[in-house]
Amino acid sequence: MTTNTETTAATTTGERADLLDSLHKHRGLFRHTVQGLSDEQAGLSPTASSLCLGGLVKHVTSTEREWATFVLEGPVEQDAVDWSNPPPEFQAYQDGFRMLEGETLAGVLAAYDESAAATDELVRTADLDGRQPLPAAPWFEPGASWSARRVFLHLVAETAQHAGHADILRESIDGQKSMG
């Protein structure tokens, strides 16, 4: 994947600025849901779901990192998984959705900010038309590819979706809402 090193934060305009504005808006709504929470509250699962706010932050962080790697390097080879009998290493994936002992909300937010900054730089510099083949997965059309542009749009959608999940969790904890 090639990058355009001539584009900087100060000169980001047009499509790139729109992508960054959308990412920043939804990240802001997402971050608002954890504002003022204790580490204990960030680890609560107050709904029928097992999701917690700290775990959602971890998930969105890893999602941004994985898609950034995809834009730069293409798909990561993955072993086929029998989801009816997941392997022991699946535990690490599940742990990405919860606050583990020793993790803090400040720590997961710092990792999120680091990941977001790297993604922002990639939005500024990547060839938006550059394509990578999607990995083989039941949720992707065989042989399909995505442009960097499509990946960044997906990240906007992913962040917005999880901001909604986070808003429900936060309202269940103490009544705070992002909007309304």
Question: 105-120 b/e with 16+ CB inside 10 Å = b?
Answer: beebbebbeebbeebb
* Position 15 in a domain: yes
* Position 20 in a domain: yes
First-to-last alpha carbon distance for the chain, in angstroms, is 42
CA dist., res. 148 & res. 136, Å (int): 18
Domain that holds residue 127: 9-77+85-174
Confidence at residue 10, expressed as pLDDT on a 0 to 100 scale: 52
Give the Å distances, CA to CA, from 46 to 29, 33, 61, 166: 19, 14, 22, 11
* Position 141 in a domain: yes
User: Residue 47's domain is classified under what CATH number?
Assistant: 1.20.120.450
* Position 154 in a domain: yes
* Position 2 in a domain: no
**Based on the structure, what is the number of domains in the chain?**
1
- Model pTM score: 0.86
* Position 70 in a domain: yes
Ranges in the chain, pLDDT < 70? 1-11, 78-81, 83, 180
How far, in whole angstroms, is CA 107 from its chain's centroid?
16
- Other beta carbons within 10 angstroms of residue 47's beta carbon come to 14
